Structure 1
Amino acid sequence: MEDGRKARGQRSREAILTHAVSLASVDGLDGLSLGRLAEVAGVSKSGFFAHWRDKRQLQLDTIDRARRQWVEHVVSPALRHPSGLRRLYALHQSRLRFYADGVLPGGCFFFAAQVEFDDRPGPVRTEVARALTDWLGLLRGEAEKAIELGELRDIDPEQLAYEIEALGEAAVIHIRLLRRDTALPHARRAVLQRLRAHATDPSLLPED
């Protein structure tokens, strides 16, 4: 009986956090109203406060849920590709697919959070920065593996990771403000051309 209640409580908590990630992708983490979130998630305020009595902890838990969502939708599909050049490109592709599928109404939780907290010291900023650092580290690590495997040459893996991240962020902005029909193809093609230019065997990647 106790295990059943605990499992239901955990499911309820996860459902609330999933709604929180969606809302924060539009309104920001500071825009998370406890009352509104309880309403959107379909739980009573008393049930909501059983999970969180502190907005800061809600923000931190929302970041953690967004990280796990990113792993599920972006990282895990890319891990099915061989490590190195092909996985590096697959990570970029998965990210663009995440945006194309409209998983979040605001496009990207982490882009919104970075803009919101980049100059606001504290634990929330620390966790947002850690998520970005981990993502850049993953991109850099796959670039380093591609160099080690002899798949890439004459390229700085840290610089390459920065460029791939910058193009992903540009896609988020252009999708929302400019032309959705060209933003994703441009971001995909820019990274593809960059990788093919330094690939020892371009046939490992699509031509276009």
Structure 2
Amino acid sequence: MSPRSSFAHARQTREAIVEAGLRIASVEGLEGLTIGRLAADLGLSKSGVLGHFGSKETLQLEVVDAAAELFGREVVGRAERAPEGLRRLRALVESWVSYVERGVLPGGCFFTAAASEFDDRSGPVRNAVAGLAWVWERDLRRQVDLAVAAGELPAGTDSDQVVFELSGHLLALNYALRLHRDPAAPARARTAIARLLE
């Protein structure tokens, strides 16, 4: 095997490990992501999996990055064509509802699960999850502020409060879909969000 093909094979193996890790972590959490489980699922040796990352924490961080990339494509990317302000805000939130409704990941919203798993911990994985949540909330807040400036939402609208309430509706949707398997949950979420943003 030439050095170039060897490098390509190593990169493909690493990507396959991270992809499998993302699917597993969406259901079983980042702590449920073990080197042994990935090795068994992918037909690799434990040392073969570990050799790509060096530690479980590095693997977890790679999975968080992969989840962020997926979220960027499936949620943020789907809303980018909408004009900024209220229409972009509605598009972002609808993309998130659709992302969970379509079951893009087998465990629902990766970041909802990871936030619950790591909220009271410390360290690089918690910081990565918290940082990405902060970016999402900042982007929503920006669209609320732009909507207020354009007169699409009432003057004096508290953007922090709107983002807080939107987050509550989205968390409730993920909860209802994952725990209760409630097929009416997406429609309920859309109704609640429409009322909030009227």
1:18 aligns with: 19
Per-residue deviation, 1:62: 0.9
AA of the residue aligned to 1:168: L
Give the direction of change, closer, same or farther, for the CA distance of 1:36–1:132 in structure 2 (3 Å limit): same
In the alignment, structure 1 residue 119 sits paired with structure 2 residue 120: yes
In structure 1, how many angstroms separate the alpha carbons of the residues matched to 2:4 and 2:152? 50
Residues 24-54 of structure 1 show CA distances to partners (whole Å, capped at 9, x for unaligned) of 1111111111111123234443432231120
Distance in 1, Cα, partners of 2:101 & 2:42: 24
SS of structure 2 residue aligned to 1:152: coil
Q: Over residues 134-191 of structure 1, what are the superposed CA-to-partner deviations in whole Å (9 max), with x where a residue is unaligned?
A: 1101110111111222221141111111111111111010112225221111111111
Alpha-carbon distance in 2 for matches of 1:90, 1:70: 14
* Code of the aligned partner of 1:164: L
1:159 corresponding residue in structure 2: 161
| Superposition deviation, residue 68 in structure 1 | 0.7
Equivalent-residue separation in structure 2 for 1:78 and 1:4 (angstroms): 38
Question: What do residues 63-107 of structure 1 show as CA deviations (whole Å, max 9, x unaligned)?
Answer: 111111110111100112111111101111111111111111111
For structure 2, the residue ranges without an aligned partner over 5 or more in a row are none
- What TM-score, normalized by structure 1, do the two folds share? 0.88
SS at match of 1:82: coil
| 1:178 matched residue in structure 2 | 180
CA contact (8 A) 1:22 1:109 kept: no
Identity, in percent, stands at 42
For residues 9-32 of structure 1, the C-alpha deviation after alignment (integer angstroms, 9 at most, x for no partner) is 323222221211111111111111
Shift of 1:118: 0.7
CA distance in 1, matches of 2:43, 2:75: 28
Q: 1:169 aligns with which of 151, 171, 174?
A: 171
The alignment yields a C-alpha RMSD, in angstroms, of: 1.6
Query: What's the secondary structure of 1:29's corresponding residue?
Result: coil
Structure 2 counterpart of 1:34, one-letter code: I
Matches within 5 A, 1:56-95: 56-95=57-96
TM-score relative to the length of structure 2: 0.92
Q: In structure 2, how many angstroms separate the alpha carbons of the residues matched to 1:95 and 1:42?
A: 34
Three-state SS of the structure 2 residue aligned to 1:140 is: helix
SS at match of 1:180: coil
Question: Is it true that 1:50 corresponds to 2:51 in the alignment?
Answer: yes
Q: Which residue number in structure 2 is paired with residue 200 of structure 1? A: none
Q: Which residue of the partner structure matches residue 144 of structure 1?
A: 145
On the 8 A contact 1:66/1:109 being kept in 2, the answer is yes
The letter of the residue matching 1:25 is: S
Question: Whole-Å Cα distance in 2 between the matches of residues 148 and 7 of structure 1?
Answer: 50
Q: Is the 8 A contact 1:175 1:183 kept in 2?
A: yes
Provide closer, same or farther for how the CA distance between residues 82 and 11 of structure 1 changes in structure 2, counting only shifts above 3 A: farther
Q: Secondary structure at the match of 2:183?
A: helix
The gaps in structure 1 that reach 5 residues or longer are: 197-208
Aligned to 2:105: 104
Taking the aligned partners of 2:151 and 2:5, their CA distance within structure 1 comes to: 52
Q: Distance in 2 between matches of 1:10 and 1:124?
A: 23
Distance 2:9 2:151 in 1: 50
Please give the alpha-carbon distance, in whole angstroms, between the structure 2 residues aligned to 1:158 and 1:104.
29
